[in-house]
Amino acid sequence: MYEIFARLLEERNLKAADVCKGTGLPSSLFSEWKRGKSTPKADKIKKIADFFGVSAEYLMTGEENTQIYYTNEETAKLAQEMFEDEDMRSLFHMKRTMPPERFKAHMEFMKNLYNQEKGEDF
């Protein structure tokens, strides 16, 4: 299972410290996991999987459940697009983890920049 975690780090050009910072999990969890001394409990697996935008099942087995979760085609399309686009995942991750007022300030900045560049209303 640690191999899957290591592969996700490599694919996204991240370090375990980035995951610690993004999830609030201690670095000792990852070092003990890497050495085979322990395996994270389910709640921590979920936090790590959420950080990477994968399922806990994928993190544990390397295989994704093929069950369809979205009955609305547009929702499924948007979810897939977000999964495949690192920038969109980052934006979604920030929305989930930032205090609301900080995220709102970031969004206002991006909207203003967009309006300046395009000369359009957002």
Domain boundaries, the chain: 2-61, 73-118
Q: pTM of the entire structure?
A: 0.53
Give the three-state DSSP class for 60. Answer: helix
From first to last of its 122 residues, the chain has per-residue pLDDT tens of 788 999 999 988 989 999 999 999 998 988 888 888 888 888 888 889 889 888 888 888 887 765 666 677 888 888 888 888 888 888 888 888 888 899 999 999 999 999 998 886 54
- The third-level CATH classification (topology) of the domain covering 2-61 is 434 Repressor (Amino-terminal Domain) (1.10.260)
**Per the structure block, which two tokens stand in for 19?**
């995951």
